[in-house]
Amino acid sequence: MIYLYVTFSYLISSFFTAALIILINLSSNLIWLMSQGFDISVIRFFELLLKDISNGLLFLVIILITFFLAFLLTTIVRYFFPIKRTVSYSIAGFISVFVMLKLTTLVFTGAALIAGMRTFLGFSLFCISGLLGGYLFGLLLNKVFKNEY
C-alpha cells in the first residue's frame, strides 16, 4: 500500500509541476501578445490553457522522467544523509527542472524551445515550479512516513 501512495504522490507532483509550467508559459506568451496590442479575454485564456494542457503530453512525459531520476537520486542521498524530506525533494525538483531546461537548450544548439524560458524571469519561474513540485512530493510523503527524516 505504501508503494501505491508513493507512486500516487509522484504522479500528483509531476502533474502539478507540468501544469504550473504550462500556465507560466501561456501567461508569459499572452502578456507579450497583450503588449503588442492584442486583446485577450478571460474566456480565451482558459480555452488556451485547456488546449495547452491537453497538448502537453510529451512535456508531461519529460517531467515524469526528470522527476523520477531526481527523486530516486534524492532517496539514495537521503539514505546516507539525514536531510529533511521536504527540503531535499524541493531541491531535487528545482535542480531537475533546471537541468532539463539547460539540456533541451543545449541539445537544440542554444534555441529555447519553450517561449516562456527565454527570459531570466521565465526560466526562474520554471525552476521554482520544479521546487514546488518537489516540495509537494515531500509533503505528501510525510503523510505516509511518520518520521520527518
Contact partners, residue 71, CB within 8 Å, separation at least 6: 10, 89, 92, 134, 137
Predicted TM-score of the model (pTM): 0.87
- Strand spans (E) along the chain: none
In a domain, 16, yes or no: yes
pLDDT tens column, 52-82: 888 888 889 999 999 999 999 999 999 999 8
**Domain housing 6:** 2-144
Q: DSSP letter for 133, please.
A: H
In a domain, 115, yes or no: yes
Domain count, the chain: 1
